[in-house]
Amino acid sequence: MAASDVSPAAGLTVSPPGVLFALLGAASLWLPFLTLRANRIVAGEGAAPWEVADPIASTAALIAIAAGLTLGLLPSRPWVRFAGSLIGLAGLVVLLALGAATLLKGADNLARVSPAAGFWCLLAVIMLLMADAIGGLRPGPRLRFALLAVVLAGLAVLLWSGALNDLSPMQEYRTRAAAFRTATWRHVALALGSLGVAAAIGFPLGILAFRRDRVRAVTLPVLSFMQTIPSLAMFGIMIPILGWVGDTVPGAQSIGIAGIGFAPAFVALLLYSLLPVVANTVAGLGAVPATSVEAARGMGMTAWQRFWTVELPLALPVILAGLRIVLVQNIGLAVIAGLIGGGGFGTFVFQGLNQTATDLILLGALPTVLMALVAAILMDIVVEIAQPTLNRKYP
């Protein structure tokens, strides 16, 4: 055990991150937990955690949160710390649900209850505690996937149960359920579609750039330059270019190519995606040990056989890491597509900004963050599975 984990008081062991989380959690309790507003756009009045529900319910939920933060102090018990994060999260959700229902009792029909700074700070602290505990567990890909599935299933059950229906973001969702489903599919199409096309173009281009120095000397600087263009400017550049294509090329508008909408957003994301794919393909192939290639050549393998059986498997983790960068990047950048009619969750974000409706902004921002986190975790799992380690056994 590291000396830094030992507290000078009574020889107890504590986790330094756990101490930090406990202090941050305690400080967050003094911030407003929920905000009650007369309607969806006006400023409201904050309520402390112990004021949002009846005393018994508030006390029980706060005890659960405190217990979770306390269990996070144990450095050599990662499963206990993980269980503590779940207990704290359960207390936080219960306090959120009961508080929203309590504050709305007797209020006007237009009244709204929204999570305030105290809730978001506590949620961040508990999620960091959970991530720290999972890091201590050092789970393999299968266990990480199982944990992710459990967390997502729990979130789905919570939303399906209607326990959070009194919150303002959920009220925004109910009035826009059909539009939200359309935006979800559009956001997925922008992020995954641009990733797929970038992989189809960038992977062969990366192989060619690796094999030919002249191609690499031209390709990488050009793609690097495109990466330096600000995202909003890139989306703006696509508008006149694709607008001209749509007006002049026969049949272009019939397949959706126009100055605004899905096409310019898709092309902009595609251009941003090419550099990580090409650069990581070149880097991955360049990192293949020369001894492995020479051994394959000595066995009489052709160039293509060496590529498919030796070079590509060894370079695959680096190539997949590039795809991970692209996917997470595109999920975030796809929000800007809402500015040019490209759809996706950015539609709600920019509508909320125009209407000064914070909860409408959250309706677009929260799914984007969740999608990016899930994509990053899944791609990390895929990258680890692709590591060329022989006889690896995952828990």
- CATH number reported for the structural domain that contains residue 283 in this entry: 1.10.3720.10
Query: 163 versus 391: which is more confidently predicted?
Result: 163
The residue type of 29 is L
pLDDT at 388: 66
Residues 211 and 317 grouped into a single domain = yes
Mean pLDDT in residue range 299-308 = 84
More confident residue, 216 or 244: 216
Return the ∠ at Cα 199 (arms to 195 and 205), rounded to 5°: 140
Residue 363 forms part of a structural domain: yes
- Which residue, of 115, 138, 161, is where some domain finishes? 138
Containing 259, the helix (H) or strand (E) segment is: none
* C-alpha dihedral sign at 99, 101, 103, 105: negative
Q: Is the same domain home to 116 and 264?
A: no
| 249 lies in the same domain as 329 | yes
111 and 10 both lie in a single domain: yes
| Domain final residue pick, 138, 156, 187 | 138
What pLDDT shows up at residue 391?
A: 42
Q: Are residues 231 and 339 part of one domain? A: yes
CB-CB contact of 345 with 183 (8 Å): yes
pLDDT of residue 361: 92
Residue that finishes a domain, picked among 89, 121, 138: 138
Q: Domain range holding 125?
A: 3-138
Same domain? For 100 and 187 the reply is no
Q: What is the mean pLDDT of residues 301-326?
A: 88
Is the predicted pLDDT of residue 125 greater than 80, yes or no?
yes
Distance CA 58, CA 112 (A): 20
Q: What is the pLDDT of residue 122?
A: 94
pTM of the model: 0.85
Between CA 391 and CA 336 the distance in angstroms is 45
Task: Decide if 218 is inside a domain.
Answer: yes
Which two three-digit tokens encode residue 286? Answer: 């360049």
Q: Are residues 63 and 211 in the same domain?
A: no
Q: Given this model, what pLDDT does residue 279 score?
A: 93
Query: In this model, does residue 259 exceed pLDDT 80?
Result: no
Residues 326 and 230 in one domain: yes
**Residue 74 CB coordination number (10 Å):** 19
Helices (H), 299-388: 303-306, 312-333, 346-355, 358-385
Tell me 344's DSSP state.
Answer: S
Asked if 208 and 339 sit in the same domain, the reply is: yes
Residue 295 falls within a domain, yes or no? yes
For the chain, the maximum distance between any two Cα atoms, rounded to a whole number of angstroms, is 83
pLDDT in tens, 333-382: 999 888 888 889 999 999 988 888 888 999 999 999 999 999 999 999 99
Assess if residue 240 is contained within a domain: yes
Reply yes or no on whether the pLDDT at 3 is more than 70.
no
Rounded CA separation 60/64 (Å) = 6
Please tell me the predicted confidence (pLDDT) of residue 228: 87
Q: Are residues 89 and 201 in the same domain?
A: no
The 45-47 sheet, strands edge to edge = 45-47, 34-37, 112-115
Return the CATH number at 44: 1.20.140
* Inside any domain, residue 145: no
Q: How far is the C-alpha of 201 from the C-alpha of 219, rounded, in Å? A: 12
Q: In percent, how much of the chain has pLDDT > 70?
A: 94
Tell me if 330 sits within 8 A of 376, measured CB to CB: no
- Same domain? For 224 and 359 the reply is yes
The answer to whether residue 165 sits within a structural domain is no
Q: Name which residue leads in pLDDT, 251 or 379.
A: 379
Residues 124 and 185 in one domain: no
Does residue 2 surpass a pLDDT of 60? Answer: no
How many domains does the structure of the chain reveal? 2
CB atoms < 10 A from the CB of 88, how many? 29
Tokens for 92?
A: 């936080």
pLDDT band at 262 (very low <50, low <70, confident <90, very high): confident
* Per-residue confidence (pLDDT) for residue 129, from 0 to 100: 92
pLDDT in the model for residue 393: 46
Distance CA 351, CA 323 (A): 31
Is residue 286 in a domain?
Answer: yes
Q: Is residue 109 part of a domain?
A: yes
Band (pLDDT 50/70/90 cuts) for residue 55 is confident
Report whether pLDDT(141) > 80: yes
